[in-house]
Amino acid sequence: MAYLDHAATTPMLPAALDAYATAARAIGNPSSLHAAGRSARRMVEESRERIAAVIGARPSEVIFTGGGTEADNLATKGVFWARRDADPGRRRVVVSAVEHHAVLDAVGWLGRHEGAEVTYLPVDGTGRVDPAGFAELVRAHGDETAVVSVQWANNEVGTVQPIAELAALAAGAGIPFHTDAVQAVGQVPVDFAGSGVAALTLTGHKLGGPVGVGALVLGRDVACTPLLHGGGQERDVRSGTLDTPGVVAFAVAVETTVRAREQYAERVAALRDELVRRVLAAVPDAIHNGDAEHRLPGNAHFSFPGCEGDALLLLLDAKGIYCSTGSACSAGVAQPSHVLLAMGADDARARSSLRFSLGHDSTEADLDALLAALPGAVERARRAGAWKTPR
């Protein structure tokens, strides 16, 4: 078995799991006033402080959510609503063309139902947004722009964006800038205050914490209309009883991965480079997608000409090699990746891609297993590639 899908979800760290189990044995709603509640509250607030400390934010800026998707929706919709309500002339939403669906579909919905005008920032062949193009857009449409969202790093091809540069341009025009840093935290240096962004998304299950808990780091002065109304537990921007054990384990995971980031990144990037080398040696016409320099350490992403990514996935799965064709699709029907298409790939190349993503427990043995299975799978998938031709 070789698990090469850490970008989809990565195993929980033992320390996070232990912290979860300990917290889950205790009773107490952090909103309760009695001793049990106070004890839960203390765990939550300590967790908030631990996360804030390692990502360069103030504790009050950390808003716990039910994961990355919720945080992305809250940032894009919530900031849009607040800014539009303050000035009806601000209806424009600017996002990169390679956002995760949690951002892309949220702003698509704003366009269809809330009168938002969505502008998609193009990317180059490696998946990077051009700051000059963004500067142009800010000059032309800054006044009418409600919110901007550009991911810190891409979940498919691993390309890291020039976030500080983009955020500075937005800040100069007074536009709140959100970044989805789900794939970035623990992989590349992420500093909320230092980057100048107004809002930042992170999630537990991509960095060794539990699924279903994440955070939106939201600057104190950024107005944001809630998605969820109720008890107002999180700064009145997010309601719902906090998941104390989830939050505690999340904080342990964030703290651990961010502190260990440098050694981790060095080791995993070396392993990744070896993976890329070996894959290109075994399948010489494979194309390695993405940016060589601005890239997540654990990400390798290829197009295998003549193959359906779908077919490769099935064949590798049968050999115990777990990887991904890009973003999973709810109906299970493989769509050509919008990320690859935005990078200028044609339909066939987009459909022929596969992502291998490494994590903290990846080893050389995973590479050996992959390379033992890959050449045969590619050959088979190529033969199966002809199936689309009409009879």
Partner 1 sequence: MSGGVDSAVAAARAKDAGHDVTGVHLALARNPQTYRTGARGCCTLEDSRDARRAADVIGIPFYVWDMADEFHASVVDDFVDEYAAGRTPNPCLRCNEKIKFAAVLDRAVALGFDAVVTGHHARLGADGLLRRSVDLAKDQSYVLAVLTRAQLDRAVFPLGDSTKERVRAEAAERGLAVADKPDSHDICFIADGDTRGFLEGRLGSAPGDIVDGRTGARLGTHNGAYGYTIGQRKGLNLRVPAEDGRPRYVLSITPVTNTVTVGPREDLEVDTVTATRPIWHEASASVRCDVQLRAHGEVVPASVTVAAGELTARLETPARGVAAGQAIVAYRPDPGGDIVLGSATITAGTRESAHA
To the nearest whole angstrom, how small is the minimum distance from the Cβ of residue 292 to ligand PLP? 21
Out of 28, 67, 196, 209, name the contact with ligand PLP by CB under 6 A: 67
Tell me if 105 contacts partner 1 by CB under 8 A.
Answer: no
Tell me if 390 contacts partner 1 by CB under 8 A.
Answer: yes
Phi, psi angles (nearest 5°) of residue 92: -85, 140
Tokens 């709810």 correspond to 330
As a whole number of Å, the CA-based R_g of the chain is 21
* Residue 203 contacts which entry, ligand PLP, partner 1, none (Cβ below 5-8 A, type-dependent): ligand PLP
Phi, psi angles (nearest 5°) of residue 216: -110, 120
DSSP 4-65: -BTTT--PPPHHHHHHHHHHHHS---TT--SHHHHHHHHHHHHHHHHHHHHHT--GGGEEEE
Determine the interface stretch with partner 1 among 5-13, 71-79, 81-89, 382-390 (rule: CB under 8 A): 382-390
**Contact flags string 281-310 toward partner 1, x per CB under 8 A:** -----------------------------x
* Residue 23 contacts which entry, partner 1, ligand PLP, none (Cβ below 5-8 A, type-dependent): none
Strand blocks (E) in 47-205: 62-65, 92-96, 117-121, 145-149, 177-180, 199-203
Structure tokens belonging to residue 192: 């909320």
**Total binding residues toward ligand PLP, as defined by CB under 6 A:** 13
Tell me if 5 contacts ligand PLP by CB under 6 A.
Answer: no
To the nearest whole angstrom, how small is the minimum distance from the Cβ of residue 211 to partner 1? 18
Determine the interface stretch with ligand PLP among 56-64, 68-76, 192-200, 351-359 (rule: CB under 6 A): 68-76
Q: Cα 356 from chain centroid? A: 15
> Hey, which residues between 308 and 347 contact partner 1 (CB under 8 A)?
310-311, 314-315, 317-318, 330-334
Out of 74, 75, 102, 271, name the contact with ligand PLP by CB under 6 A: 102
| 329 given a catalytic annotation | yes
Distances (CA, A) of 132 to 3, 136, 258: 39, 6, 31
Structure tokens belonging to residue 82: 């607040």
- Residue 140 to residue 117: CA distance in whole angstroms: 14
Q: Which is nearer to ligand PLP, 327 or 362 (CB)?
A: 327
What count of Cα atoms within 13 Å lies in the side-chain half-sphere of residue 372? 12
Tell me if 1 contacts partner 1 by CB under 8 A.
Answer: no
What is the binding site for partner 1 (CB under 8 A)? Answer: 310-311, 314-315, 317-318, 330-334, 380-381, 383-388, 390-391
- Residues taking part in catalysis: 329
What is the binding site for ligand PLP (CB under 6 A)? Answer: 67-69, 72, 100, 102, 151, 155, 180, 182-183, 203, 214
